[in-house]
Structure 1
């Protein structure tokens, strides 16, 4: 049997969000951080995985075991090491949560890995699949080898309120982080411009009970339809509202303490639309409708254009977080969360 004293839980996050993740761990839990990897923290093993699931900035969580011996050859000859980890993870999930598996490891076609795959198929009656429920990795970490199993069939970043995944939709852990950096606990009213599938609105509504008014608007009917479904599934239909407007029409919805936006770019803007003109209109709109002492929080890959335009406004940069977003092509896209103040901040 695996010695649980050697086990750790690994909390992985979007590259760039380290500071926000660390703050959430310290503010919400009593976890002791015992190590750190690139874009991940290690904490001591605990039997209650539900305590990990409350963290909104963590993308994925893994049960891990580490030893200098745990190379693929060793694991292929001591398969109970992997089997014990899988059994622990399965015991913390519903019976039919894991119907498929995938192993990430260098030399995935080697004799040793093929033996391990065959063992898992037979022992746990699961098939191999790219988009698998049971995610396993074997990796060299410094002088040791690490074996890890994702503790849930879905990444923690895939929220239950998502009716379906919309192409280009904002990662909920990033949305939560943007809201956190805006210090929503100090405010009462919230507007989301270019609201899309309502990820920012829902993350705000679920995590900040002090917000009395949450409104979003978008000019895309498909986005609006999906956002209403997501809001309803999140149980926020009485708290959060979306409307069909175009920012270029300068809709008058009142004034707000906080305005946020996942700014459109590339394929997400209308054909023939000028990005610089759109951002300029957005900034002007926010200046008119943000309360004195309020905050503007934006997320964009086109931050150079946005920074140039907003420097000519009355907004002052308060915070920024640089993120390396992993695209569907497994390439890094530099993006930024930026938080601006208007007047004397609360």
Structure 2
């Protein structure tokens, strides 16, 4: 099993994540990736559902051996981590960027931050998007050169890699992170094409700001991988900006899950193999994460049991020259306390 560290500390750092330099070393060659806990979960469910736990586990062992590992918790001070309250629940931090985003300027950002809560019994899951511009306290980086002040939450990754991102998220939410996944959203293109396209309900007519300037029309639209990826990037045509981008990404994730479960892929060995290769090719996980264990835990989970929500906010504003998102402090505290305690009814109520 590979054990490659995907982060090397930047030599210099500007005041914001968008201004961060490219990571050095292997991180510069292998850019951080974003979101495939959901896809790996689906892969796990499909394999277990078709061949049983033993056969699925055997196949997953071979997939797991090709997945890169990141030291997510090595530099997180144990004394500063939240205590585990609900021992049977699990919280997975999903980080990612779109390495082929036409607007992307650096590989050191985390464009997407999701806290996936898996309750006791694993009969459901709540996927909580944290806007990347959320203004939070960022702990000081291990080298002492960055952090120790308020900043956008995605600055933590540029300043201290995955460990500082874990530490910052735990400080903000009060929720202890059990595992981490890093995914390249650009890889969704191959996944969606392996599924034969997905159906997305477009909220209004608009035109993409990126070549070839596709037109999207209100209503359900069948999208191939390139089109869905383009759709998931759009935000400037919407009044709520980055919140629209979050909403579009959530739509694409759910559409992938729905299509993979209902589209017959699990009974077609060729399509299943293409899906497996696409799903595993651009995901990294922490050293302790086991896909086989996840397969057993989540074998009964389906997309209808997933709830997508966004961390409570009170809107956008400016801090100096930076455009930021302000957390709704009281609501966020209550919301994440429900997550910490695995109080699913309270999570769902607070997340509306």
Asked if TM exceeds 0.5, the reply is: no
TM-score w.r.t. the length of structure 1 is 0.24
TM-score w.r.t. the length of structure 2 is 0.24
User: Which structure is larger by alpha-carbon Rg, 1 or 2?
Assistant: 1
Query: Going by fraction, where is strand more abundant, 1 or 2?
Result: 1
**Looking at both structures, which has the greater relative contact order when contacts are Cα pairs under 8 Å and sequence separation is at least 6?**
2
Query: Going by fraction, where is helix more abundant, 1 or 2?
Result: 2
